Chain A
Amino acid sequence: MGASVRPSFSEGLGGEQGWPEALRGRGPQAVSGILTALRRAGLWSPRRQLLLATWQALSRALGTMDAESLLLSLELASGSGQGLSPDRRASLLTSLPLVKRDYRYDRVLFWGRILGLVADYYIAQGLSEDQLAPRKTLYSLNCMEWSLLPPATEEMMAQTSVVKGRFMGDPSHEYEHTELQKINEGGKVFEEEVVVQIKEETRLVSIIDQIDKAVAIIPRGALFKTPFGPIHVNRTFEGLSLSEAKKLSSYFHFREPVQLKNKTLLEKADLDPSLDFMDSLEHDIPKGSWSIQMERGNALVVLRSLLWPGLTFFHAPRTKNCGYIYVGTG
């Protein structure tokens, strides 16, 4: 089965540039496995053009579930058991480019899925040129109609930290939280129970922000900083080597650095300022909150966060493919 599929596939590709880069470093089993998977998923014949476009775009694939490399990314991240059904995948592939066009984003990434009781939220993020600038978050209930979420503020975080329990799945749902507030009335101070309404949208925003700040990661070398300030995708990033891929220090938090300034001068001397401008995972608290696993022999490294269970980061060493997805209850 693998032998019969492979030659026709490569013929179809005609040896375009994306092909060797995307599959470099993966064993023949994985390659035939991918091809088999694509064929079995029924994506082969009717959507061949789409596949070719996806493979071509793989050389530019980076980050969380880039809209162009969505299929492959979902395939690689599926080891955790949670994925997307085919109809959701198709809707995403259709709607994400439209979002990109409408909101004029540089890149649109599929962030993940938050499971609610009644319905699930599908979250996407739009990025501008500067990779570390605050991202715009959009959510959707059916992967077709996307709504922009407001950016997270401190106030929101404080407000929603009191809400516990699962997400309902209804964005207009309001959580009620009773608080004791001191009210001054004419010199007397007494406490009154005030019922505070917190909207689920606010909670969604703050949870996504927390997850991003805590566990969004990116391999070292995937982004680089120019002297002018903005941070660009490193197009010559060829992937981590296998020995590097197993170390926590080769992954960075995808956010503004917090601990970088606290490093000693000796440590800083070893850093390359154009590549090492974010916090690495080594010194994360709690210690041991990341689980590194190699799947398919050494062809895929999967990092799972234990702090936010449901976050999966995958990377195929020596290739550009990497990304993360969050599927969980928030």
Chain B
Amino acid sequence: MGDPPTDPEPPSQPPSSRRSSQVSQRRGLELSRPQPAFPEEAEQIPLDPSILQSNRGILASQANLQGWSLGASPTQQENLTMFQAEEAQLGGVEYPSPNMGFPSELQPQLYLEEGGIQATQNAGLMLQQLRRGQSNLFQQLESAYLETQPDLLGQFNMYQRDDLQFSQHEPYLRDEPTLQFSPSEPGFTPFTLEVPEREPLELAVQNAKAYLLQTSVSCSLSLYEHLANLLTKILDQRPEDPLSILESLNRTTQREWCHPKLDTLRDDPEMQPTYEMADRQKALFLRSGGGEGQQEMEEEVAETAVPNVMETAFYLEQAGVGLSSDESFRIFLALKQLVEQQPIHTCRFWGKILGLSRSYLVAEVSFREGEEEEGEEEAEEMMEGGEGMDAPDEEEGEEDEEKDTDIIPKPMWKPPPVIPREESRSGTNKYLYFVCTEPGRPWTRLPHVTPVQIVQARKIKKFFTGFLDAPVVSYPPFPGNEANYLRAQIARISAATHISPLGFYQFGEEEGDEEEEGGAGRDSYEENPDFEGIPVLELVDSTANWVHHAQHILPQGRCTWVNPLQKIEEEEELGEEEEKADEGMEGVEQEVGPPLLTPLSEDAEIMHMSPWTTRLSCSLCPQYSVAVVRSNLWPGAYAYASGKIWCEVHTHSTFHLDAMFSSEVLDLGFGFHHIYS
């Protein structure tokens, strides 16, 4: 154990000759790896520069160790080759192995000091290595090289170990720490001076590679290729902390290689709806018809009914409400398309109503004078036809009853008289509403609303599914389908939340109206040409500066009151009904609502809070901000005003806050009949 170190002879000649023979063999194998490529091998990053440094150190110190240094580099390259093939299993061997042999070998002083740390078996090895001319290493006592020098030795160690293991018929070098760190194993026989021949080692490498190149059953990819792909991907993309995402990367690489995405013949079926929608919206962007450019421009520059949606959207964005700008632009184009298709006098974007599977974009329009919609007449005919059908049913019922011996008592209940709906262009039916689900799709007209529908709509709370012909299943039963329910809600919201700054609208100059209409109020207004905007701060301070400009809907469901019993007397029904009418004449009171243009401050409070919230859009720059009014009754109704500009919009899923606020969540549960597909 305490063998004195021999004199540093230059016995490098024999080993160098050996080395050169190896070199000649190995040169074929990727010998000329460029030096900078070394650091790329991740596991050798700490080693390589230091090995190189140590190499150069060796070169510098001993000129006559040329063969040595030559031998060093190819062996290093051999290492690298083996590393490539066997995925650093050998590299792993390199690390710890030198540690044992190092101190005793490089520094004889240290060796002597540390004494019995190292194994006797290693001593022989050290002697041999010393004799091989590593005397130069003695001169390098800097601690910086302590870890690196052993690598060179480690290579030798490894080769030695190769022989050992070969002798044990194990072609692979396993990264077992026990092999390196327990040099005192009895089975650890000393090494021969001769480095074994290359063929067994090469054979081992080739066996390993062949094993890795086996293609797996499920995929035509071998582990070797997969690992190569994985490493290539990591090195290309350089993710941070690759170790923690190794499994995900593995899975991704596997997926990528086994399922190629490109398919030039077939379109991607999943993207089909996107492309369809894009096509449809593209039609919006193109100008309709060929036409001469200039004439069309002139026509368009003239006044159109299409509102300036972008301006509205800008102001609403200041208020923190609204759809994104590109959506607003598409809505603008859709409105333009609507104006071209229908004879429209005025048009306004009312808002958006969210539904379960689709949403509605609502446009409020009024047709030009004289353009009475044909659809309306058809609807009236259908209604009359329906009533005609009812009458024969009743007669048949009566006949049956006469035949029965047991006369079933007739129910005393008569359905309440049907209140006629308001004429178009007046009251709740002042405007027509068109809906579409997305800009680019065709606009559908909503039917007029009847008072019954409004009354029933007040009692139920249902989500919209997005399909206009969906039935509305509820209790109390709603007469109509989703289109009617939507229209009724729109009517209620409009009546409650159409507001404008005080003074913008004024009444026409007709003074005798109040008496004639029995106090029902005026129902028309016109713009005030002398309107000068109210300062924004005043608009925010008090709600008295805002007025309703839509008629309030009476409990009856109409804006102007109609005595239902008078209608019955005019119609000629069965005699019984006349009698009933006389009996039922219970002094129906006229319903009165607040007149038009009443300020907001007179709105009834709900649950101890005012129904409107006013705010400045931006407190940091009050001179340019916009006054925003938000309804607490209909969440989602907003109006803004700034100077002479004002507007309102509604975006909501239509929930009316009423006294049942606390049970709102329960109502949601009740209303869940529409399960979206």
Contacts and interface: CB of A to CB of B under 8 A. Distances in A.
B479 to A, nearest CB: 25
A49 interface: no
Contacts of B239: 235
B278 A85 contact: no
A241 B270 contact: yes
Given A29-B281, A296-B277, A297-B277, A37 B324 contact: yes
- Size category of the B interface is 35 or more
A307 B665 contact: yes
A150 interface: no
Interface size class for chain A?
Answer: 35 or more
Contact of A286 (B617, B618, B669): B669
B318 to A, nearest CB: 5
Interface in B644-677: 651-653, 655, 661-662, 665, 668-669, 672, 674-676
Given A88-B320, A166-B609, A293 B271 contact: no
A164 B661 contact: yes
Contact of B273 (A78, A81, A289, A294): A294
Contacts of A329: 635
Interface string B627-657: 0001010011000000000000001110100
Contact of B320 (A83, A238, A243, A328): A83
B69 to A, nearest CB: 43
A323 B438 CA distance: 23
Interface string B594-636: 0000000000000111100100011111000000001010011
A224 B276 CA distance: 35
A97 interface: no
Contacts of A236: 245, 248-249, 252
B277 A85 contact: no
Interface string A282-303: 0000111101111111110000
Contact of B321 (A25, A83, A298): A83
Contact of A84 (B278, B320, B466): B320
A83 B319 CA distance: 9
Given A80-B354, A117-B632, A309 B653 contact: yes
Interface stretch (B325-333, B375-383, B397-405): B325-333
B244 interface: yes
A292 B676 CA distance: 8
B166 interface: no
A296 B275 CA distance: 9
A306 interface: yes
A78 B357 contact: no
B463 interface: yes
B103 interface: no
A293 B273 contact: no
Contacts of A34: 326
Provide the main secondary structure of the chain A interface: loop
A295 B324 CA distance: 13
A81 B322 contact: yes
A164 B245 contact: no
Interface in B282-301: 282
B487 interface: no
A45 to B, nearest CB: 16
Interface in A23-76: 25-29, 33-34, 36-37, 40-41, 75
A50 B325 CA distance: 19
A41 B322 CA distance: 13
B320 A82 contact: yes
A299 B609 contact: no
Nearest to A166: B609
Contacts of A20: none
B326 A37 contact: yes
A35 to B, nearest CB: 9
A79 interface: yes
A114 B502 CA distance: 30
A197 interface: no
B358 interface: yes
A85 B617 contact: yes
Given A236-B245, A288-B672, A298 B273 contact: yes
Contact of A85 (B281, B319, B357): B319
A242 interface: yes
A311 to B, nearest CB: 12
Contact of A235 (B245, B282, B318, B632): B245
Interface string B333-362: 000000000000000000110111111000
Interface string B549-580: 00000000000000000000000000000000
A86 interface: yes
A235 B243 CA distance: 12
B43 interface: no
Given A37-B326, A82-B651, A28 B278 contact: yes
Contacts of A79: 323-324, 327, 359
A81 B676 contact: no
Contacts of B354: 80-81, 291, 304
Contacts of A165: 607-609, 661
Nearest to B318: A85
Contacts of A118: 613
28 contacts: A37-B324, A75-B324, A80-B354, A81-B322, A81-B351, A81-B352, A81-B354, A81-B651, A82-B651, A85-B318, A86-B318, A87-B621, A117-B610, A234-B248, A242-B270, A287-B675, A289-B668, A291-B355, A291-B463, A291-B676, A292-B357, A295-B438, A296-B274, A297-B276, A298-B270, A298-B271, A298-B277, A307-B668
Given A28-B278, A165-B607, A298-B273, 10 more contacts: A25-B271, A37-B324, A78-B322, A85-B317, A85-B319, A292-B676, A293-B356, A295-B438, A297-B274, A298-B272
The 7 closest A-B pairs by CB, nearest first: A81-B651, A297-B274, A297-B277, A33-B326, A242-B270, A236-B248, A78-B324
